[in-house]
Amino acid sequence: MFDKMEDLLHRFEEILNELNEPTVTEDQKRFRALMKEQSDLTPLVEAYKEYKKCNETVEDSLSLLDSESDEEMKEMLKEELNNAKKRIEELETEMKILLLPKDPNDDKNVIVEIRAGAGGDEAALFAAEIYRMYVHYAEGRRWKVELAECEEIGIGGMKSVTFMISGQGAYSVMKYESGVHRVQRVPETESGGRIHTSTISVAVMPEVDDDIDIVIEDKDIRIDVMRASGNGGQCVNTTDSAVRLTHYPTGIVVYSQTEKSQLQNKAKAFALLKAKLYDIEQQQRHDAEAEMRRSQIGTGDRSEKIRTYNFPQGRVTDHRINLTIYKLDKVMNGDIQEIIDACIAADQAIRLSRLNQEG
């Protein structure tokens, strides 16, 4: 690990030297790549520099302890020594985590698709609430949210909704939301006061950048232009600009209706289709690496029940990591960072454990 850290420290210094050259901004693509690499390496380099400093502290404290006769000074040196040793252990774990292979999609924007499952209107109402939860979460992180498509029902629910979230590292956190979300509560339409269970599914897909080659042949696609349909809610405009794409080889149908311009809706629809095709590729790759898929949180089976929202108890339980918190109101208002952080920590622990076993 430390040989690798020395190499990375050397590379970091090379990047800084290159960024200090007066001509560096002439090639904007190169400049952005260097800035990104510098940003990625900074946490590692800072941890490694602190690690080396702590090691020096240990050596100095041990050396001074051998020659020190004053008991009070000895106690101070021992405390300094113990603190440095403890910090070294923490930094070793921190560096191992930072060196774990990074998901190449982590920095990308995401496309999120929510669909009502079992539970009829109640599931559609919950789908709309989960959509709003993600919008609040994204806004809290100053990310941009763009609605692409939704199918509403008259009472404020959504049978399906697709939207894009643009922001640094959006996929790295939102990927943990993929799966089946279950709600347990008494619906407003239930006169007997019985608790009903409904489900929705959430699919989180990375936006496909130009550097990823997803080929869509003209002969494989049908483009239909129409007037947006719906109940006149937030998803609908009134011009003949809605675009539906049908991809014959996969049977995928995507629909974009939220923009006033047909060209904008078409661009959005193609972005959605590319994301879905890329997602199929990713799923197939994960299927081929079954063990890896089972051992990672957030990249598992889309049919997996990941979370329960129990309204009578004010409880949210994430079943993948056995986490239960009792602040349902805050969660539904977008306060999901605690759950995501716990998923990230569990994911890192699993991958570290595997790395140690391989080592």
> Are 169 and 298 members of one domain?
yes
> Are 129 and 237 members of one domain?
yes
> Are 197 and 244 members of one domain?
yes
Residue 53 has pLDDT above 90, yes or no: yes
Q: Collapsing DSSP states into helix, strand and coil, what is residue 333?
A: coil
- Taken in order 282, 287, 290, 295, the sign of the CA dihedral is positive
pTM above 0.85, yes or no: no
> Are 139 and 86 members of one domain?
no
The amino acid occupying position 4 is K
> Are 12 and 150 members of one domain?
no
Q: What is the pLDDT of residue 327?
A: 95
Task: Give the confidence band of 37 by pLDDT, cuts at 50, 70, 90.
Answer: confident
The C-alpha R_g of the chain, in whole angstroms, comes to: 26
Closest listed residue to residue 309, CA positions, set 179, 199, 172, 210: 199
Q: What is the pLDDT of residue 301?
A: 53
Q: Residue 92 belongs to a domain with what CATH number?
A: 1.20.58
> Are 258 and 214 members of one domain?
yes
| pLDDT per position as a tens digit, 202-256 | 999 888 876 667 778 878 888 888 766 555 455 555 556 788 888 888 888 887 8
Distance CA 223, CA 245 (A): 5
Residue 48 has pLDDT above 60, yes or no: yes
| pLDDT per position as a tens digit, 347-358 | 988 888 877 766
How many domains is the chain built from?
Answer: 2
Boundary-marking domain end, from 98, 121, 139: 98
User: How much is the average pLDDT of 287-298?
Assistant: 56
Q: Residue 232 belongs to a domain with what CATH number?
A: 3.30.70.1660
> Are 65 and 130 members of one domain?
no
> Are 8 and 88 members of one domain?
yes
Range of the domain at 265: 110-348
> Are 85 and 201 members of one domain?
no
Residue 104 belongs to a domain: no
> Are 319 and 222 members of one domain?
yes
Task: Give the confidence band of 329 by pLDDT, cuts at 50, 70, 90.
Answer: very high
> Are 204 and 265 members of one domain?
yes
User: How much is the average pLDDT of 49-73?
Assistant: 88
Q: Collapsing DSSP states into helix, strand and coil, what is residue 87?
A: helix
User: How much is the average pLDDT of 327-331?
Assistant: 96
The amino acid occupying position 338 is E
Q: What is the pLDDT of residue 296?
A: 56
Rounded alpha-carbon distances, angstroms, from residue 324 to 177, 232, 294, 309, 318: 16, 38, 22, 10, 6
> Are 180 and 311 members of one domain?
yes
Q: 154 versus 320: which is more confidently predicted?
A: 320
Residue 297 has pLDDT above 70, yes or no: no
Residue 105 belongs to a domain: no
Q: 120 versus 285: which is more confidently predicted?
A: 120
